[in-house]
Amino acid sequence: MIGKSMYDIDTPALVIDLDAMERNIRGMADFFRDRPAKLRPHAKTHKTPELAQMQLDAGAIGITCAKLGEAEVMADAGIRDLLLANEVIGAQKIARLVEVAKKSDLIVAVDSVENARAISEAAEAAGVRIRVLIEVDVGQNRCGVRPGEPAVRLAQEILKLRGLLFQGIMGYEGHIVLNPDREVRESECQKSMTQLVSTREALEAAGIPVEIVSGGGTGTYAVTGAFPGVTEVQAGSYITMDARYKGLDLGFECALTVLTTVVSRNGPEIVVCDAGMKAVTREFGMPESKDTRMEVVHLSEEHGKLTVKDPGGVPYRVGDKIEIIPSHGCTTINLHDTFYGVRAGKVEAVWNIAARGKVR
């Protein structure tokens, strides 16, 4: 496919505008270049070692993963500095975690002493030491210990475990990253980061050194990344963006689209394409048509239905190809095996989405 027109790609297919993606990578890297906090991009968005390497080449200090399977893919690709920002539970997964730690500089999140002990025992038996961050619940009410003293107590227990190396804390303000009100988003983010940094202060007051304070997402990167005491930010979606994040006016471009073929024109006001729910997700709402004269109004399993808003109509015929912008990039990408990188309408790169489906 390399060198051919993007319209020669069979559909449905994931397309990345390389110019836009590269501007996104540079823009985020520039924000962190001279700041105390650094960027550790979240690979759960793109799931692709080649794109992770581009982020590292632009200045990122490491890569974040959401699942152990993603970390395995990144480690196998030679990416060394990895944060697995999730709890890894059970003997099977912990055995795999130890194997990843043998070939990378792995950090893993914990929020219970029982899990920390299980990881430590497996690591010690294998002759490795695994770095850990305590996850702190800063408002999402998902995983994590409460800020302050509960985190101190857990850290004190971790320090007794010979298979672990305590490195610091992490907290994700995921409950606020997509809030459309900028003032609310920023003020609530500051509250979350205050809880996280105050936990660092409590740890240090107890004589426990803290090297890493990790948090943040694309929607709050500018607040978290400038917050005193935060050392790294885990933003992910900025590299490709999506329709939901586009509405926050963050300064990044929608580089990701789903290329789809018109399969029916059921009257002048209807365009039907071959991208349905098995090609693009809708939990954040309907995807958007890149051609603003049309609106995506329905997704069935294998079909997308668009209505024509422009009274002058649209010229698309059966067999023509159009682009739609996913409302949620992370989950849409997880439906596909391949990225097609396009510049000026020509296919320049084809990448295997190697961590696609790695939910274990």
186 in any annotated domain: yes
Sign (positive or negative) of CA dihedral 96, 98, 103, 105: positive
Domain containing 173 equals 18-239
Residue 359 lies in a domain: no
Above pLDDT 90, what percent of the chain? Answer: 99
Residue 359's nearest CA partner among 69, 87, 47 is: 69
pLDDT band at 157 (very low <50, low <70, confident <90, very high): very high
Q: What is the CATH number of the domain that holds 322?
A: 2.40.37.20
Residue 15 host element (H or E): strand 13-17
The whole-chain average pLDDT of the chain stands at: 98
The CATH number for 73's domain is 3.20.20.10
Would you place residue 132 in the very low, low, confident or very high pLDDT band (cuts 50, 70, 90)? Answer: very high
Same domain, 102 and 144: yes
Residue 244 inside a domain? The answer is: no
* pTM of the complete model beyond 0.95: yes
Same domain, 190 and 299: no
Considering the domain architecture, whether residues 255 and 208 belong to the same structural domain is answered as: no
How far is residue 351's CA from residue 326's CA, in Å, rounded to a whole number? Answer: 19
Q: How many domains does the chain have?
A: 2
Interatomic CA distance for residues 280 and 300, integer angstroms: 10
Distance CA 230, CA 251 (A): 22
b/e burial code for range 81-108 (CB count within 10 A of at least 16 → b) = bbbbbbbbeeeebbebbbebbeebebbb
Among the candidates 202, 218, 239, a domain finishes at: 239
The average pLDDT across 299-323 equals: 97
Q: 73 and 184: one domain?
A: yes
How far apart CA 174 and CA 53 sit, in angstroms, is 25
Task: Say which DSSP state 247 is in.
Answer: T
Asked if residue 168 and residue 74 are part of one domain, the reply reads yes
Q: Which of 107, 33, 118 lies closest to 64 in space, CA to CA? A: 107
In sequence order, which residues have a C-beta less than 8 Å from that of residue 169 and are 6 or more positions away?
A: 133, 134, 135, 136, 151, 196, 199, 200, 203, 210, 212, 213, 214
Task: Report which of 243, 285, 291, 242 is spatially closest to residue 271, judged by C-alpha positions.
Answer: 291
Q: Could you tell me if residue 360 is inside a domain?
A: no
Helices (H), ranges, the chain: 18-32, 49-57, 68-76, 91-102, 113-126, 149-158, 182-205, 221-224, 243-246, 329-333
pLDDT band at 29 (very low <50, low <70, confident <90, very high): very high
Same domain, 60 and 178: yes
> What integer pLDDT is reported at residue 48 of this predicted model?
98
Q: Please state, in angstroms and rounded to a whole number, the distance separating the CA atoms of residues 272 and 298.
A: 10
Average pLDDT over residues 260-265: 98
- pLDDT at position 218: 98
**Which of 195, 217, 239 is where one domain is finished?**
239
Gap between the Cα atoms of 238 and 216, Å rounded: 12
pLDDT tens digits, residue range 52-109?
999 999 999 999 999 999 999 999 999 999 999 999 999 999 999 999 999 999 999 9
- Adjacent-strand bridge partners of 294: 308
Where is the domain boundary, 210, 239, 268? 239
State the DSSP H helix or E strand holding residue 306, giving kind and residue range, or none if neither.
strand 304-308
At 358 the pLDDT is: 97
**pLDDT for position 163:** 98
Q: Which two tokens stand for residue 299?
A: 């997704």
Residue pair 120/88 in contact by the 8 Å Cβ criterion: no
Does some domain include residue 358?
A: no
Residue 333 in domain? yes
Q: Which of 294-298's residues contact partners 24+ apart within 8 Å by CB, and which partners?
A: 294/322, 296/324
| Same-domain pairing of 95 and 166 | yes
Residues 212 and 298 in one domain: no
pLDDT digits (tens, 9 = 90+) for 40-51: 999 999 999 999
Residues shown for the chain? 360
- With b for 16 or more beta-carbon neighbours within 10 A and e for fewer, the 32-67 pattern comes to beeeebbbbbbbbbbbbbebbbbbbebebebbbbbb
Element (DSSP H or E) covering residue 299: strand 294-299
Tell me, yes or no, whether 1 lies in a domain: no
Tell me: do 276 and 172 sit in the same domain: no
Tell me the pLDDT band of 219, cut-offs 50, 70 and 90.
very high
**DSSP symbols for 60-73:** ---EEESSHHHHHH
Answer yes or no: do 97 and 234 share one domain. yes
- Calculate the alpha carbon distances from 127 to 80, 122, 142, 167 in Å: 18, 9, 32, 19
The DSSP string of 272-293 is: EES--TTTS--TTS--EESSTT
Residue 307 has, within 13 A of its CA and on its CB side, a CA count of 5
- Residue 357 falls within a domain, yes or no? no
Q: Are residues 231 and 263 in the same domain?
A: no
Cα 346 from Cα 339, distance rounded (Å)? 13
* In a shared domain, residues 29 and 175: yes
